[in-house]
């Protein structure tokens, strides 16, 4: 016999059972996600507490615009070398380079707002804000001019702007795999959606980034660094604060490139452009290289063989070649 709606009772019972099990399954999955999120958040909290006691800043904390910034200088001599890391990276990725250059001159690393031990600041992380904060930090830290400015990746864009806005404070400019406005339509990149940013913040807050790092993902960021600095880099990369800063910097990327795209040439400022072999092999790099070298009448170029965009800093042998370029530049300035 058919039911009132023309559906056999057995089919109605099957349908009702499917609905019940679907609801139960969805509820169970939600509970599982909540439980895992809670466990992850607890894990992240206590691991971060352990990191904060185990990994301490090795430099000074200096107030800039009402917030604390981490600055660490080694060695003696002038000009002072200032090292700027790439997007999403703490200052300690420069550990090998800083150690070698410090035998020749004073060399400083620092953490941009929100990275490493520096506090976040509620302003966009574009080149204008970053360079203003860096220059204020160097002044507050009594770091005498002139500077040899060294920037990796997006850090190269920051140092390019700083060299232009403060030419009197710049003795030389050295760029490593620098981000360039040439050949790329950065405006088409757009900004990450609010949903994406919120998801990434949540993922870091519940220990997702820390879990991936524990499994060995992204190990190239710290694996080849000196053990103490490598452990510190791994710890700060796990921080939700670092994720927030990286998202903010990524959101300002198009603005940063726009800000450096109309800068005047550097005149006779000594400029060295260094590319890792992997980046140098990209088709677009040739036009970018020409643009960089044409921006100064005193420019040089070199490739670090066997290196990629990260190993050019974190691999000891690759970093040694970068450090040698800096040391040679210092020698030329002192003649």
Convert the pLDDT of each residue in 133-188 to its tens digit. Answer: 999 999 999 999 999 999 999 999 999 999 999 999 999 999 999 999 887 766 66
Q: What is the side-by-side strand order in the sheet with 107-110?
A: 60-64, 67-74, 107-110, 80-84, 147-152, 170-176, 271-276, 299-304
- For the domain spanning 59-334, the CATH number is 3.40.50.1820
pLDDT at 202: 59
List pLDDT tens digits, range 10-43. 656 666 666 666 776 666 666 655 655 556 555 5
pLDDT at 238: 80
Q: Give the start-to-end residue ranges of the domains of the chain.
A: 10-54, 59-334
- Enter the pTM of the model: 0.84
Instruction: Give the whole-angstrom CA distance, residue 161 versus residue 127.
Output: 7
List pLDDT tens digits, range 271-315. 999 999 999 999 888 999 999 999 999 999 999 999 999 999 999
Tokens of 313: 């800093």
């Amino acid at each position: 016999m058919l039911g009132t709606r023309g559906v056999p009772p057995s089919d109605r019972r099957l349908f009702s059972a499917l609905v019940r099990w679907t609801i139960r399954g969805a509820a169970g999955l939600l509970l599982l996600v909540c439980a895992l999120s809670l466990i992850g958040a607890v894990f992240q909290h206590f691991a971060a507490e352990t990191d904060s006691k185990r990994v301490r800043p090795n430099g000074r904390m200096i107030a800039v615009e009402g917030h604390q910034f981490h600055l660490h200088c080694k060695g003696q001599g002038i000009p002072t070398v200032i090292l700027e890391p790439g997007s999403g990276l703490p200052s300690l990725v420069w550990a090998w380079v800083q150690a070698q250059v410090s035998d020749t001159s004073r060399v400083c690393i620092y953490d941009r707002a929100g990275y490493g031990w520096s506090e976040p600041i509620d302003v966009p992380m574009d080149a204008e804000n970053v360079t203003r904060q860096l220059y204020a930090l160097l002044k507050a830290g009594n770091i005498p001019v002139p500077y040899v400015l060294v920037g990796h990746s997006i850090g190269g864009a920051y140092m390019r702007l700083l060299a232009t806005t403060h030419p009197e404070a710049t003795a030389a400019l050295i760029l490593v795999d620098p981000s360039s406005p040439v050949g790329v339509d950065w405006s088409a990149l757009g900004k990450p959606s609010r949903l994406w940013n919120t998801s990434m913040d949540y993922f870091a807050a519940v220990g997702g980034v820390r879990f991936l790092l524990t499994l060995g993902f992204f190990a190239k960021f710290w694996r080849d660094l000196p053990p103490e600095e490598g452990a510190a880099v791994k710890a700060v990369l796990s921080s939700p604060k670092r994720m927030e800063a990286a998202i903010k910097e990524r959101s300002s990327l198009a603005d940063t490139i726009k800000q450096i795209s109309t800068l005047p040439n550097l005149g006779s400022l000594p400029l060295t452009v260094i590319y890792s072999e992997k980046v140098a092999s990209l088709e677009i790099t040739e036009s970018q290289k020409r643009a960089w070298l044409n921006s100064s009448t005193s420019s040089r170029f070199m490739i670090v063989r066997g290196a990629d965009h990260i190993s050019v800093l974190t691999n000891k042998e690759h970093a040694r070649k970068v450090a040698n370029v800096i040391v040679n530049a210092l020698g030329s300035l002192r003649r």
